[in-house]
Amino acid sequence: MARQQRRWRIARWLVLSVAGLITLLMLVLVLAAYRNDNAIESNLGAANAQVLSVAWDRTIVRFETSDGAVHISQDGVLYPEGLVEGQLVHVEYDATNPDHLVRVAGRTFTLSLLPAGTTIAITWLIAAPLAVWLRRRASPA
């Protein structure tokens, strides 16, 4: 009986640990988006860009900086929702790193708050009742 109770306790801590890890990852994601926005705003450049490709993992744009150099966003553009291939869009970029930090103009890290918050809420809506159930299973009857 004690062995079974120990398994339930381990399962409970595992559920809570996974939920905590997901929460931490979502908070880090929002913090990273905020940091990227600050880097762009610290060395702000703006241009019109053409959307070259749209894929599930990144949207690539091509734009010309004020010095006449053409850049293609290697890491994709930040906040690409709704963009389609061939579209012209206004972008803002980090003038010290135009190939890597590019975002659609007018969009900021606040767009990451809803998906991150929703993910955290759903995670805990599942994890909390499951942890309570597992705690009851682990308690001696």
* Nearest-10 Cα torsion for 105, 109, 114, 116: 140
Beta-bridge partners for 49: 63, 89
Question: In the sheet that 102-104 helps form, which strands lie side by side, from edge to edge?
Answer: 70-72, 59-64, 44-54, 88-94, 102-104
Per DSSP, the residues of 30-75 read HHHHHHHHHHHHHTEEEEEEEEEEE-SS-EEEEEE-TTS-EEE-TT
The pLDDT tens digits for 9-54 are: 999 999 999 999 999 999 999 999 999 999 999 999 999 999 999 9
Could you tell me which residues come within 8 angstroms of residue 83 by beta carbon, excluding any fewer than 6 positions away? 51, 54, 59, 77, 89, 104
pLDDT 10s digits, 66-122: 899 999 998 899 999 999 999 999 999 999 999 999 999 999 999 999 999 999 999
What local confidence, expressed as pLDDT, does residue 74 receive? Answer: 84
The pLDDT of residue 1: 66
The residue range of the domain holding 114 is 2-138
Beta bridge partners of 70: 64
Q: What is the pLDDT of residue 138?
A: 81
Q: What are residue 59's phi and psi, to 5 degrees?
A: -120, 120
- Work out how many domains the chain is built from and give that number: 1
Helix (H, G, I), strand (E, B) or coil at 85: coil
Judged by DSSP in three states, 97 sits in: coil
